Amino acid sequence: MATHVIHNASLLSFHPGFRRGGADALAVDGDRIEAIGTLDELRPLVNPSTRLIDARGMTLMPGLHDTHIHVWKVGNLKTFMLDVRAATSLEELLTLLQKYREQHPGIGWITARGFNEAAWEKGRIPTREDLDKVIPDKPVYLIRTCAHIAVANSKALELAGVTGDTPAPSGGVIHKDSRGRPNGIFSETALGLISSQIPPYTREELKIMIRAAREEMYRYGITAVTDPAVDPVLLEAYYEMDRAGELGCRLQAMPILLPDGGDRPYPIPECHSSDHLTVNTVKFFSDGGLSGQTAALKRPYKGSAEQGVLRLDRDRYLSLCCQAHEKGFGVATHAIGDAAIEFVTNVYQQLNADFPGALRRIEHLGLPEERHLQTMAACDIATSMQAVFISELGKNFVKYLDEPYLQACYPIRSVLQHGILTALSSDAPVVKDFNPFKGMEAAITRKDNEGKLIAEDEGIRIEEALTAYTASAAKISRTPGLGSLEAGKFADFIILDRDPLHTPPAGLTGIKVFQTYVGGNCVWSAE
């Protein structure tokens, strides 16, 4: 019998065989969808204790699924770390750091994240000398919005023992000034030289961050997520929250195997699956990001001799992928630049021959070539892409990419046309606005926040965007209980104030989530 029935709803789902119209009610039994139909058809499931909930004609659809979001980092910017994403100049950034130092006199390390110098007028990346002007006496670690570049002040360099003679780890760069001294800027794996010196967060602190992020997720209608870079301490925090029934959403945790700046890989854990927590895929980083010119390209960035950083050693990467597959894990690899995508697809081709049927996915897929897409289709390689980068980082792309690259940037339409399983996601907190409807709007309109069109021929339809955040997201995560409105699936769904299919693309971000349900329980309500 149903615990509650939601009726007078406009049902919307994106799985084969679903047809709109006719059915306007959904019955929930415990944490699962029991049946879908008209209210009269569901009457036999109603007993005196069943709650009847009138949706007032609003749209009811599966909960949204962000397949690439750094959950604890989103929460960290709400709790323990200074958020500097609002800074519009170097001077404003330094003022924020100085005020934070004054407000937290007892703090040990000062950590901050989110600057984007490309959005500043005559912007440049800060150096240790800039940071020393406002905070000379405490170590400062400032992470760029992309998280592939960071800046440390002199105190942090001193504590980490980094000098002009310090060798950069493989796949990393220690940037230097004209006299050969570290200027405080680190790229890719070299970040670990500084970050490894910062006292690690405890599991309890990580749980505080996760809860803080979850509340904002609910507000956006996000009921399922993939955290794509989980170290052993964070993984244990997720396990503890799962055992205690505290996760409050469906979470896929992707353990990383190669820590920044470290020589030894983390041990491969055991596969895990519960109603709320899935651990079935491991994560690698093959390059950096386009917005900071660290993604590995075949041609130089515009106005530069730089071609980014390729982080992985092929033999080691292949060996670790094989070990993961042998333990039943899928493999996900961050690859944005065309050189990195070629590197990864070549390895995946070999893995496909040895481990047919194993999950392999590419995170981001910023600049794939036609032949890369052909390989992905032939080898059943999936991808999680971020259309929302067009909105928030489009200015960076215009500044750093030549015209052929710019017109091939995040080619979602081409990827879908090749029949590649594609999910959309945010990579927050790389972007500040991780509302999935913002991501959908960007995927359709291909406009940045200033209205500039970027690769406009790569725009997709609203139905495709919604599928990428629901049914396709469940498939790429291998979580079959999610992604659609079907009997037996988890009762994770959202009620919207308007129908996305009948909303102009430019108005998608204005859609409001009225209620969010996880496991049949209303976890957030606009009322």
pLDDT averaged over the chain?
96
Q: 85: exposed, middle or buried (C-beta count within 10 Å: 0-12, 13-18, 19+)?
A: middle
With cut-offs at 50, 70 and 90, classify the pLDDT of residue 412.
very high
| Residue 25 β-bridge partners | 37
DSSP states of 181-198:
-EEEEEEEGGGHHHHTTS
Alpha-carbon distance 141 to 138, whole Å? 10
DSSP state of 167: P
Closest CA to 387 of 305, 468, 284, 267: 468
Q: Is the pLDDT of residue 261 over 80?
A: no
Split at pLDDT 50, 70, 90, the class of 132 is very high
Q: Does 263 score more than 90 pLDDT?
A: no
Which domains does the chain possess? 4-57 (2.30.40.10), 66-70+201-481 (3.20.20.140), 81-195 (3.10.310.70)
Q: What is the pLDDT of residue 260?
A: 82
Percent of the chain with pLDDT over 90: 96
- Average pLDDT (217-221) is 98
pLDDT mean over 471-487? 98
Which tokens belong to 422?
């594609």
Cα 445 versus chain centre, distance: 21
Confidence of residue 200 (pLDDT cuts 50, 70, 90): very high
Q: How many CB atoms lie within 10 A of CB 267?
A: 10
- Residue with token string 């750093």: 400
pLDDT value for 522: 97
Start-end of H helices in 77-172: 90-103, 128-134, 154-160
Calculate the CA dihedral of residues 76, 78, 81, 83 and round it to 10 degrees. Answer: 120
The tokens describing 271, both together, are: 């596969």
Is there a contact between 324 and 347 (Cβ–Cβ < 8 Å)? no
Question: What CA dihedral angle connects 445, 447, 452 and 458, to 10 degrees?
Answer: -60
Question: pTM score, two decimals?
Answer: 0.95
